[in-house]
Structure 1
Amino acid sequence: MKSKARTPIPRVAVIGAGVTGALIANELSKLREKNSIGEEAPPRYDVTVIEQGAIGNGSSSRSAACIRQQFSTQATVHGMMYSVEYYKNFAKHVGKKPSEANVLVQNGYLFLYRDPQRFQEAATTAVMQQQWGLKDVEVLGPPEIRKKFPFVNTLELTGATWCPSDGFLRPVDIYSEALENAVRNGAKLMRNTQVNGATKRGNLITALKTTRGNVPCDIVVNATNAWAPRVSQMLEGTGLPIMSLKRFLWFLNTNHAPGVMEFPMIVAEGGQYFRPENSHQVMLGHAVDITPEPRFSNEDQDVVPWEYDLENADGLGMQTWMELTSWVPVLEKFGKEKHGTTSGFYGTTPDHNPFIDYDPYVPNLIHACGFSGHGIMHAPFTMKIVCALVEKGTRQWTMELNGKILDISIFAVDRNFDNHAEAMVI
């Protein structure tokens, strides 16, 4: 009797080895078919990750790496609730013991407001978040703020919103552990490999052309974020309206002052923010209007113009610190202990929601990009959507997550950007 020929395993090529690409590769590599008696068969997908540099080459290694569930769109709130739970249990997703892969620090997120109208808008949004299932988000008045956060200057405050289950992440551990587990499960990782074109049959990509030879594939995932528009163009996909915007982070030494790690992520009304980085440093940030750099190079990621350098007494870094000291006066004593400035690129869309969708012109190309500064926190949710797209093989407008049907059309590549703009962007 002739043995039955084995059906070829679909080949998935993930371009980009940051957190998003790493989690997608890890999840797809774990999927297994079951045979007729319930035993595990070979992997359902043959996964290859292609990275032009070292893993985490782009924004993932240069991110503020915060995570919050306080958003203004329902699907994103549910997705971020899923992401928090995923990162809380990250170790089990990568085959580790809990003590070996602790990547989430839940210090909370505190949004502070002086303007009554902006506070009322934030309070209204918080009520919607509670209705959507985010039960631990709170609206606080000045007396409650003073009680919970005595280090905050409440003299001019109108109020705040607070979610204790928000916090920040350890991205290097996330993409390193996820890729390591993907490789253990059979995925291939191609570092320092440039994608420079594709072989196609009609509109379908059949192989990626790289500096290390052709990579045959049935599905391609563009997880390159700020690089995504040029990757899509190279693969003859749709034009992605993603702006590459430089963002800066500033680090101050605290001389191991007590209580530093107890600070939450604090966001002032003007968008200035800070959080603890470790027991001896705090991180400051502020997203401001800046000229996009669509043709940036790898090296450009770390170029810090003088006007954004923390060493410049009149630069944006020191201005951000000075503004934050008016909200949290204790920061003033850290301003003379400068540690340094880092930078990287946001991949920003017109409505600040990402693209997670099949390309309308290249039916086997999935885009997972344009996160507008939220890529790492969004990555588990992104992974769930991408895996659903891979499994279904076509564009999807809804998805089940934790028993709820979510509208994921807000992540469509060709959506109307006026319909679902994300209001809570830092």
Structure 2
Amino acid sequence: MVGPSRRVVLIGGGITGTLTAVALARAGWEVVLAEGAHIGAGSSSRTAAGIRQQFSTRESVVGMRYAVDFFRRWQELIGGPLSPIHQSGYLFLYDSEASWQAALDRAERQRAWGLTEVETLAAPALQARFPYVSEAMVGGTFCPTDGFLRPDAVYNDAADCARRLGVSVLQQAPLLSARSAGGRLTAVTTAKGELEADLFIDCTNAWTRRTARLLGGVDLPVAALKRYLWFAERGEALPAETLLHMPLVVAPGGAYCRPENSDSLLMGWKHDAPDVSLTFDYADQDTIEDAHDHRGGGESRAVMAWIQLAEAMPPLGELAGLSATTAGFYGSTPDHNPFLDFDPQVPNLLRLVGFSGHGAMFGPFTAAVAAALAEAGRPLDALELPTGRAELAAFQIGRTMHHGEAMVI
């Protein structure tokens, strides 16, 4: 039975919110999930949805090993007609001896942290394994258990599971205001009415600075940065079977690609973008600026990403052409690690934000951390997982940010 101090309201219905709702419902909380639009309407439906364990931060390696296992057991743990994970691997390419040596050092640390399956492939073994890779690449790190997700399956299946567990899932319920007493939140008002609770959880990521203003929370350094994805048609560049089984490949300059299906390739490449966290609106997610439009000609960021990928993998230069552009927002922190912690100004407000493009893959780990924090009712130093001990200092609010995550695309 749910006790008098076991009511929680989650704000934001993407992958973070829906999976956290499931975890808390299973822990015995009475859960309401309030989404301002519809489930998955924010960044979760606009993500490249990669999932990898190759990180430079130990806690992220431990957490992502847990997440990969969770997604592999998806139908057992969450339900749904199909598995949402496609484990075709991640391949990071390097074109200089210095960058390759740094990659070798990282891979050694990753193995020490439990990621024993990460492989280091020096040329020419790299090209023998992946014949489409240019001979100019001196090496690559490959983890076969990495891959990508079908994000719509993740948030929809998780929302359905939450409902089966008794979670009240409210859509078209944007946050309007909040009520506090004695320094603690007591209720929030949404377009669907007032919701009283003992614990409140912010899962709004790129929207978190505005959410915090309504809830009285600290203004966290989470920048809303526009990111673009482009789609290219295969044509005769590669056999359909080859494309379908390609890993997600990251070129030395940071452009990346993965198969969307047997006939199209998804591409992305981060760029310097202004922080619009306090000014963008819902429709801005889908606005395509000319400089990033796939129809923008040779100066388009899309074309430049394609060229970079073709230099690393020459057959991609023969793709039939770019066919579409999509966009969304990262919620990015200065060190590219998320905040998974209680708000220092509002002790019953938990912040799960700032994923820096990794929110989809972090989902199961985030939910596990959130459930542990909710049970404790206070910050924790660490969380014991089947994949190891995750020290939580890397995700706490107020941490020093001298050593951030190095593997960000």
Deviations 1:182-225 (A, max 9, x none): 11111001101111111111111111111221001111110011
Q: Secondary structure at the match of 1:292?
A: coil
The residue aligned with 2:109 is: 128
What amino acid maps onto 2:303 in structure 1?
M
What amino acid maps onto 2:269 in structure 1?
H
What amino acid maps onto 1:111 in structure 2?
F
The residue aligned with 1:198 is: 178
Distance between the aligned counterparts of 1:95 and 1:106, measured in 2? Answer: 19
The residue aligned with 1:39 is: none
Q: Pick one of 409, 414, 424 that aligns with 2:398.
A: 414
Q: Pick one of 263, 269, 284 that aligns with 1:280.
A: 263
What amino acid maps onto 1:90 in structure 2?
W
What amino acid maps onto 2:329 in structure 1?
F
Matched, 1:315 2:300: yes
Deviation at 1:83, TM superposition (A): 0.5
Matched, 1:23 2:11: no
Matched, 1:327 2:327: no
Q: Pick one of 253, 264, 273 that aligns with 2:233.
A: 253
Distance between the aligned counterparts of 2:314 and 2:394, measured in 1? Answer: 40
Does the 8 Å contact 1:71/1:77 carry over to 2? Answer: yes
The residue aligned with 2:7 is: 11
What amino acid maps onto 1:276 in structure 2?
P
The residue aligned with 1:217 is: 197
Q: Secondary structure at the match of 1:206?
A: strand
Alpha-carbon spacing, 1:6–1:371, altered in 2? closer, same or farther (3 Å): closer
Alpha-carbon spacing, 1:263–1:293, altered in 2? closer, same or farther (3 Å): same
Q: Secondary structure at the match of 1:391?
A: helix
Alignment of 1:30-69 (within 5 A): 30-31=26-27, 44-69=28-53
Distance between the aligned counterparts of 2:308 and 2:3, measured in 1? Answer: 62
Matched, 1:89 2:70: no
Matched, 1:170 2:166: no
Deviation at 1:292, TM superposition (A): 1.7
The residue aligned with 1:35 is: none
Instruction: Please identify, of 399-408 and 234-243, the stretch whose mean Cα deviation from structure 2 is larger.
Output: 399-408
The residue aligned with 1:266 is: 249
Distance between the aligned counterparts of 2:283 and 2:224, measured in 1? Answer: 14
Moved beyond 6 Å, runs of 4+:
none
Alpha-carbon spacing, 1:403–1:117, altered in 2? closer, same or farther (3 Å): closer
Does the 8 Å contact 2:228/2:327 carry over to 1? Answer: yes
What amino acid maps onto 1:322 in structure 2?
I
Q: Secondary structure at the match of 1:317?
A: helix
The residue aligned with 2:127 is: 146
The residue aligned with 2:97 is: 116
Deviation at 1:255, TM superposition (A): 4.2
Structure 2 segments unaligned to the other structure (5+ residues): none
What amino acid maps onto 1:356 in structure 2?
L
The residue aligned with 1:40 is: none
Length-normalised TM-score, structure 1: 0.93
Matched, 1:338 2:322: yes
Deviation at 1:7, TM superposition (A): 3.8
Distance between the aligned counterparts of 1:278 and 1:265, measured in 2? Answer: 12
The residue aligned with 2:287 is: 303
Q: Higher relative contact order by CA 8 Å / sep ≥ 6: 1 or 2?
A: 2
Distance between the aligned counterparts of 1:76 and 1:403, measured in 2? Answer: 11
Deviation at 1:404, TM superposition (A): 3.0
Distance between the aligned counterparts of 2:79 and 2:335, measured in 1? Answer: 37
Does the 8 Å contact 2:294/2:324 carry over to 1? Answer: yes
Distance between the aligned counterparts of 1:270 and 1:362, measured in 2? Answer: 41
Q: Secondary structure at the match of 2:231?
A: strand
Alignment of 1:383-394 (within 5 A): 383-394=367-378
Deviation at 1:338, TM superposition (A): 2.3
Alpha-carbon spacing, 1:200–1:343, altered in 2? closer, same or farther (3 Å): same
Q: Secondary structure at the match of 2:285?
A: helix
The residue aligned with 1:157 is: 137
Deviations 1:276-299 (A, max 9, x none): 011111001000111221211000
What amino acid maps onto 2:305 in structure 1?
T
The residue aligned with 2:87 is: 106
Deviation at 1:409, TM superposition (A): 1.0
Does the 8 Å contact 1:9/1:46 carry over to 2? Answer: no
Distance between the aligned counterparts of 2:218 and 2:131, measured in 1? Answer: 51
User: How many aligned positions are there?
Assistant: 404
Q: Secondary structure at the match of 2:124?
A: helix
Does the 8 Å contact 2:40/2:155 carry over to 1? Answer: yes
Alignment of 1:62-77 (within 5 A): 62-77=46-61
What amino acid maps onto 2:101 in structure 1?
Q
Distance between the aligned counterparts of 1:122 and 1:276, measured in 2? Answer: 24
Deviations 1:210-262 (A, max 9, x none): 12210011111100110011111211111110111000000011248422111
Does the 8 Å contact 1:30/1:182 carry over to 2? Answer: no
Distance between the aligned counterparts of 1:94 and 1:279, measured in 2? Answer: 28
Q: Secondary structure at the match of 1:134?
A: coil
Deviation at 1:118, TM superposition (A): 1.2
What amino acid maps onto 1:291 in structure 2?
P
The residue aligned with 1:235 is: 215
Distance between the aligned counterparts of 2:125 and 2:94, measured in 1? Answer: 14
Deviation at 1:46, TM superposition (A): 0.7
Instruction: Please identify, of 290-299 and 13-22, the stretch whose mean Cα deviation from structure 2 is larger.
Output: 290-299
Alpha-carbon spacing, 1:350–1:6, altered in 2? closer, same or farther (3 Å): closer
Structure 1 segments unaligned to the other structure (5+ residues): 32-43
